[in-house]
Chains A and B, each alone.
Chain A
């Protein structure tokens, strides 16, 4: 069965007295004609690949092909070791792990697109950091990743998750909403609170453009993974505290779609506007083409 809206998902949870991940994994098993444990195993494999990517990223400071990026994870890790940041461990790790993954991605390392390669650092950094901090078991991390999956899936039924279609709202923005829901799941929140977290996360990234310099998934994409990882926890904490969005989830998703349609093509992955057309970006671009 195709679950087309968050409203439908919530109704299903209430009717069957199940959590979101239970509904999602049963639905997936039905559709793929396999067992729930197979779905969980496949999720586990993705989780494992995410953790491997973080591990590899933490060890490397190799630059990207363009030579623009690749050493910020190392820089930030060292800095956090040598001074007291304003953040606690969870947020520090979200920043470091998201950079590790996003940098691993641009040096052609092995990552999990979630939902896209450009936004691959957000969900893993959040799930791993929160589970380390709160000592959360692998089984519950799998619940959280399945929760993230159904959130992304419902949104993707309405809007294609690609910067070229709806700007970065649909990539890093959606990743952040997926991560927000997964945090609420890991901390034992209700289905309602999970959807609330999704709504709050999405509402606050509406209008995010996709304007990568030279069309490469580097500037601003890499650091954006860190920002939106932190953003996800903000949404989750608000939802867990009982904060409710005035605008319901499905209407926010519709708004994201419409905002994407209203957005100029210049700001949708064409590298024809925004940051990619700044003086410095053009200089970077010219240099890159001259050297290659």
Chain B
């Protein structure tokens, strides 16, 4: 059994009113921001199920937007976020789909990256798809994500680069479209890595996208 902290019952310090629908929404936004890791002009949110029906009254819409703009969960100006955004175009869609988690969202940046995640209770979140590829990011670890052409030896090649840095790998997760097709790899790390490591991974042949996703505070 995982040891729990007394601060799992006292905290988070957060902007209300709901840990799942507000704090969770902000954290999903923040995580998506860390993943996209780029300036953006346009962001679209597709809210599912309970996020869609009760999100309005819980400020889920505001929380998501505040998150992608980098506001922390305890920022009390989240409620005024619509007045504070400037230069970013944002929109919302509301969908019922029982195949999705009750508190679920797709966050789409500049029509080019779609990040899907769930708010799984008590402000905890999980990012489970990025551009359609399975992922498993909970914001608790710094994570290296790469997209590459599936081929043998890739895992050992990447993990070797990380090992040389002396950083322990907490978990590793791969998914691919087809054998030899596009694949993704997520490596959760126990310690932060140097930007040089990211550069080295980028140099590997057939790796076409690498991003280093910082954990949530």
Contacts and interface: CB of A to CB of B under 8 A. Distances in A.
Contacts of A105: 16-17
Contact of B16 (A32, A104, A114): A104
A49 B16 CA distance: 13
Chain A CB within 10 A, most for which of B7, B9, B13, B76: B9
Interface in A148-179: 148-150, 152-153, 156-157, 160-162, 164, 178
A28 B11 CA distance: 15
Given A28-B6, A153-B4, A156-B8, A110 B15 contact: yes
Interface string B1-45: 101111111111111111100110000000000000000000000
B59 to A, nearest CB: 5
Given A46-B11, A117-B16, A216 B54 contact: yes
B207 interface: no
B54 A214 contact: yes
B74 A2 contact: no
A217 B17 contact: yes
Nearest to B75: A110
| Shortest Cβ-Cβ A-B pairs, 9 listed | A149-B6, A105-B16, A152-B9, A108-B79, A215-B54, A216-B57, A115-B9, A106-B17, A110-B76
B172 interface: no
B9 A164 contact: no
Interface size of A as a range:
35 or more
Interface string A29-43: 001100000000011
B6 A117 contact: no
Interface size of B as a range:
35 or more
Interface in A86-117: 104-117
A42 to B, nearest CB: 7
A148 B11 CA distance: 12
B16 A111 contact: yes
A161 B59 CA distance: 22
A255 interface: no
17 contacts: A2-B3, A46-B7, A46-B10, A49-B13, A65-B56, A107-B16, A108-B59, A108-B78, A108-B79, A109-B76, A112-B10, A112-B11, A145-B10, A153-B6, A161-B122, A218-B17, A288-B57
A106 B22 CA distance: 10
Contact of B4 (A64, A156, A217, A271): A156
Interface of A: 1-2, 24, 28, 31-32, 42-43, 45-46, 49, 64-66, 104-118, 120, 123, 145-146, 148-150, 152-153, 156-157, 160-162, 164, 178, 214-218, 271, 288, 292
A31 B79 contact: no
Contacts of B22: 108, 117
Contact of B76 (A46, A108, A123): A108
Given A149-B9, A156-B4, A215-B50, A110 B17 contact: no
B128 to A, nearest CB: 20
A28 B18 contact: no
Nearest to B81: A108
Contacts of B56: 65, 288, 292
A42 B7 contact: yes
B157 to A, nearest CB: 33
Contacts of A109: 15-16, 76, 79
A217 B10 contact: no
Contacts of B18: 117-118, 217
Contacts of A114: 9-11
Contacts of A112: 10-14
Contacts of A148: 9-10
B53 interface: yes
B14 A65 contact: no
A111 B18 CA distance: 10
A109 B62 CA distance: 13
